[in-house]
């Protein structure tokens, strides 16, 4: 399957390395806003076709799937261009800046019969799959609470991607999307969203704490931060035990199952590559099968996660300029 990579930043570098580990994946093309950067990237990864504009890459009839690795604020425009050019799309998280933009991409992909997926790689991690299976078979009883935190200290720079509203900056869309998507995976979309946090001078959220509420009292307690470094762990608590997802929970290599009355059991895995190969394989399999979405990261979940994050950002008064 012939892939094109759009953007040459930090994550494009790492994910491209993992793509090349997946059987039957050829990275045929890369685009950058600057041709010299595209050429350097292409040389590093052995990619035959560098382009100086993403429209040129999308006009290449041999590219079947594109990986969108621009800042969040550019995801909608670039992914839209790709779908209009007839390409299947894997788009980085946070998927878009608004619910309407996420819905727009989903509608377009479905209309064109093209595969589209948010690159929420955590859902394809082998231990997160195992966690899902053991929750589904009742090992820890009825799930009542999910805890998850993701933060690190990032030097403040109003122009940098993490802090810049024009690039969709802030802790929630960049880091908090992991705890929010994790809670959605286990509990679904919340009926109640409470959020509290602080804003950076640029107006984006520097830190945010969330309480998500579900009918019947189940809840999730989540946080994201660019000003503190919590343990990046998750715990799924049920009526008959709990599962601890070790740090970093977004790419775990260990989980510990504590079942009431039993000795704890720890399961470990050595991840393939940097941990992104599983989601790449999913795209390959789903595109081959002619599917428009992945059952593990379905369109409805991507849109629901955007809805929850938007409710939280609205509570803090965070707004983004239209790109
Ligand atoms: N899945 C993960 O583990 C993970 C990890 C980190 C980030 N991400 C996500 O990946 C996306 C990119 O993050 P990153 O850390 O790679 O960011 P980055 O290092 O700043 O790279 C972003 C790249 O996007 C391109 N770009 C296109 N339009 C741009 C614009 N208007 N302003 C700035 N850059 C623009 C640039 O490449 P060119 O100069 O070549 O055009 C730039 O190098 C974000 O959505 C982020 O949330 C995911």
% of the chain at pLDDT higher than 70 = 100
Atom nearest to 250 CA in ligand 1: 3
Return the C-alpha torsion angle 160, 180, 223, 252, nearest 10.
-90
**Span 40-79, pLDDT tens digits:** 999 999 999 999 999 999 999 999 999 999 999 999 999 9
Ramachandran area for residue 241 (φ above 0: left; ψ -120 to 50: alpha; else beta)? left
- Tens of pLDDT along 231-246? 999 999 999 999 999 9
By the 8 A CB rule, do 321 and 203 touch?
no
Confidence of residue 322 (pLDDT cuts 50, 70, 90): confident
Least confident piece of the model among 207-211, 242-246, 260-264, 319-323: 319-323
Question: Rounded to an integer, what distance in angstroms lies between the CA atom of residue 188 and that of residue 175?
Answer: 19
In angstroms, the CA 65 to CA 273 distance is 21
Q: How many CB atoms lie within 10 A of CB 11?
A: 16
Q: Which atom in ligand 1 lies closest to the alpha carbon of residue 12?
A: 16
Q: How far apart are CA 168 and CA 155, in angstroms?
A: 17
Ligand 1: lining residues by beta carbon, under 6 Å: 7-12, 32-34, 37, 69-72, 74, 92-93, 119, 121, 161, 167, 174
Percent of the chain with pLDDT over 90: 99
Ligand 1, atom 24, lies closest to the CA of 70
| Confidence (pLDDT) at 227 | 98
Residues of the chain by 3-state class (helix, strand, coil), percent to 5: 40, 25, 40
What pLDDT, on the 0 to 100 scale, is given for residue 23?
93
Give pLDDT tens digits for 269-288: 999 999 999 999 999 999 99
Q: Where are the domains of the chain?
A: 2-120+278-295, 122-273+303-316
Distances (CA, A) of 303 to 29, 42, 156: 29, 33, 30
Secondary-structure class of domain 122-273+303-316 per CATH: alpha beta
* pLDDT at res. 185: 98
- State in Å: Cα 9 to ligand 1 middle: 5
Task: Please identify, by atom number, the ligand 1 atom nearest to the C-alpha of residue 32.
Answer: 40
CATH no., domain 2-120+278-295: 3.40.50.720
Helix (H, G, I), strand (E, B) or coil at 79: helix
Confidence of residue 13 (pLDDT cuts 50, 70, 90): very high
| Alpha-carbon gap, residue 300 to 307, rounded angstroms | 10
Q: Is 93 a catalytic residue?
A: yes
Protein residue whose Cα sits closest to atom 7 of ligand 1: 11
**How far apart, in whole angstroms, are the C-alpha atoms of residue 124 and residue 130?**
10
- With beta carbons less than 8 A apart as the criterion, state whether 3 and 28 touch: yes
Q: What is the pTM of this model?
A: 0.98
Residue 154 pLDDT class (50, 70, 90 cuts): very high
Alpha helices (H) along 262-298: 277-289
Nearest CA residue ID for atom 5, ligand 1: 11
pLDDT averaged over every residue in the chain: 98
Among 245, 241, 279, which residue's Cα sits nearest to residue 130? 245
Mutation to probe ligand 1, out of 70, 124, 162, 250 (largest number of atoms < 8 A from CB): 70
The C-alpha atoms of residue 59 and residue 184 are separated, in whole angstroms, by 36
- Comparing CA positions, the residue from 71, 106, 97, 90 lying closest to residue 5 is 90
**Mean pLDDT of the 210-228 span:** 98
Out of 30, 82, 92, mutate this one to test ligand 1's pocket (max ligand atoms within 8 Å of CB): namely 92
**Rounded Cα gap, residues 172 and 126, in angstroms:** 25
CA-closest residue to ligand 1 atom 37: 7
Residue 323 pLDDT greater than 80, yes or no: no
Residue with CA at minimum distance from ligand 1 atom 43: 9
């Amino acid at each position: 399957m012939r892939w094109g990579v759009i953007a040459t930043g930090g994550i494009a570098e790492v994910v491209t390395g993992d793509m090349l580990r997946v059987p039957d994946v050829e990275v045929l093309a890369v685009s950058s806003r600057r041709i010299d950067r595209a050429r350097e990237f292409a040389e590093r990864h052995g990619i035959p076709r560098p382009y100086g504009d993403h429209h040129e890459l999308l006009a290449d009839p041999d590219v079947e799937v594109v990986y969108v690795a621009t800042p969040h604020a550019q995801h909608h425009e670039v992914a839209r261009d790709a779908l209009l050019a007839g390409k299947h799309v894997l788009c980085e998280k946070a998927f878009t800046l608004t619910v309407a933009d996420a819905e727009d991409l989903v509608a377009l992909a479905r209309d064109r019969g093209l595969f589209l997926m948010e690159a929420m790689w955590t859902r394809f991690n082998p231990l997160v799959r195992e966690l899902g299976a053991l929750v589904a078979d009742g090992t820890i009883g009825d799930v009542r609470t999910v805890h998850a935190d993701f933060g690190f200290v990032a030097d403040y720079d109003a122009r940098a991607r993490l802090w810049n509203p024009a690039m969709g900056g802030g802790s929630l869309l960049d880091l908090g999307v992991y705890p929010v998507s994790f809670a959605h995976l286990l509990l679904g979309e919340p009926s109640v969203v409470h959020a509290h946090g602080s804003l950076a001078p640029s107006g984006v959220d520097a830190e945010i704490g969330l309480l998500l509420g579900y009918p019947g009292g189940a809840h999730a307690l989540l946080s994201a931060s660019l000003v503190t470094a919590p343990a990046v762990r998750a715990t799924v608590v049920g009526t008959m035990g709990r599962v601890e997802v070790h740090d970093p929970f977004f790419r775990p290599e260990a989980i510990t199952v504590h079942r009431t009355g039993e000795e704890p059991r720890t399961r470990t895995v050595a991840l393939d590559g940097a941990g992104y190969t599983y989601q790449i394989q999913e795209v390959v399999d789903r595109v081959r099968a002619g599917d428009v979405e992945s059952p593990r990261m379905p369109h409805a979940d991507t849109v629901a996660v955007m809805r929850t994050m938007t409710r939280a950002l609205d509570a803090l008064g965070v707004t983004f300029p239209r790109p």
